[in-house]
Amino acid sequence: MATITTYDNYPDGSIREDLSDIIYNITPDDTPFYSATAKTKATNVYHEWQTDTLRDSAVNAHVEGATTSSDTITATTRLGNYTQIFKNAVKVSDTSYAVNNAGKTQEMAYQILKVAREQKLDIEKAMFANQARVVGDASTARKMAGLGAWFKTNVDFQSGSSGANPTGDGTDARTRDGVPTSFDGDGSAAQASLKFDSVMQDIWTSGGVPDTCYLSPFQMNKALNFVGNNNQRSSVQAGDETVVKSLVVYVTPWGTVEFKPSREIDSTDVYILQNDMFAAAVLRPTKNIEISKTGDATTRQVTTELTLCVKNEASSGLATDNTVT
């Protein structure tokens, strides 16, 4: 009987490739602070606003029938920040428009969407940055002052090794202390909550109503161990023996604050903010335009120009100079 040979796939080069039409990208692009800020319109590269405060309270007793004297009037404080240009470009060969791409209809459209997501992360990082404003010139880029350059009133920082608050008007950056301390103090969760509660108390005394705490994933783990946290959940489910631990809000006598970790915040900083006291003043909304063609390729540019408006820094607070290991 003749031997029957089985034909298999291994030497066959005619089989089409099996390439999925899905591109898997897990890189996060969430921007909790930038997304939470109100968007206002800027009409100049230097955006300004005014702040004011009430005088200190007094018993305010007067003699019957006495002549009334006018109170001393104080002028408002005028503040401002420069708009910063965020710009990225994508260059794609004209051949890529003709070929059949897996997972994307057009290479340019895919790359534009990708770079726009990356630019949004850049904006979040710049807003959190300990960066002074820069007016800029023909050879120097304008820069907006980030949060680190504004906070001077309700701040828990270390001053033993050069740590110092900025002026508070965006003109200079905060000085980092050379010997940071742990957010959980001596290792006890009680010390961590004391740092947080101390800033909360200062904010409340100043008149602020904070609602959100922005912190790095490392400091978020410290916050999970706060003593007396009414909203921390730690329970064992009998079915799958899964331990569930979460932190949504933290309740203090000075207010209830939601915790939101951000990947773009400096790990040494913990910002406790009243969100409605911050805004992104947009001079040029995000837009992509085609740049003049110079060869067998197409280039498109994605641009956003905006600045950070800190309406009144005393509405919020900062716990900084925290160790990150």
Could you read off the pLDDT of 38-66 as tens digits, one per residue? Answer: 999 999 999 999 998 888 888 999 999 99
Residue 208 has pLDDT above 90, yes or no: yes
Distance CA 305, CA 205 (A): 35
- What mean pLDDT comes out for the span 295-309? 93
Structure tokens at 300: 């498109």
- Residue of 313, 215, 230 whose CA lies nearest to 264: 215
Could you read off the pLDDT of 211-240 as tens digits, one per residue? Answer: 999 999 999 988 887 765 444 444 444 555
Contact 22, 255 (CB under 8 A): no
| Other Cβ atoms within 10 Å of 28 Cβ, number | 10
Mean per-residue pLDDT of the chain:
84
**Residue 191: its pLDDT value, please?**
55
Which H or E run contains 87? strand 84-93
* Helix, coil or strand: residue 119: helix
**Residue 225: its pLDDT value, please?**
77
Long-range contacts of 251-257 (CB under 8 A, 24+ apart): 252/196, 252/197, 252/200, 254/197, 254/200, 254/201, 254/203, 254/204, 254/210, 255/200, 255/203, 255/204, 255/209, 255/210, 255/211, 256/211, 257/200, 257/210, 257/211, 257/212, 257/213
**Residue 138: its pLDDT value, please?**
94
Q: How confident is the model at residue 292 (pLDDT cuts 50, 70, 90)?
A: confident
Could you read off the pLDDT of 16-25 as tens digits, one per residue? Answer: 554 444 545 5
Structure tokens at 156: 């828990």
Structure tokens at 169: 């008007």
- Residue of 159, 204, 236, 184 whose CA lies nearest to 314: 204
Angle of CA points 217, 222, 228, to nearest 5°: 130
**Residue 234: its pLDDT value, please?**
41
DSSP-assigned letters across all residues of 204-230:
HHHT----EEEE-HHHHHHHTT-TT-T
Place of tokens 């335009």: 289
Distance CA 265, CA 33 (A): 10
Greatest Cα-to-Cα distance within the chain, rounded to the nearest angstrom: 132
Distance CA 130, CA 83 (A): 16
Q: How many residues does this entry show for the chain?
A: 325
Could you read off the pLDDT of 86-110 as tens digits, one per residue? Answer: 999 999 888 877 666 654 557 888 8
Could you read off the pLDDT of 110-151 as tens digits, one per residue? Answer: 888 889 999 999 999 999 999 999 999 999 999 999 999 999
Task: Measure Cα distances from 13 to 8, 9, 242 in Å.
Answer: 11, 8, 49
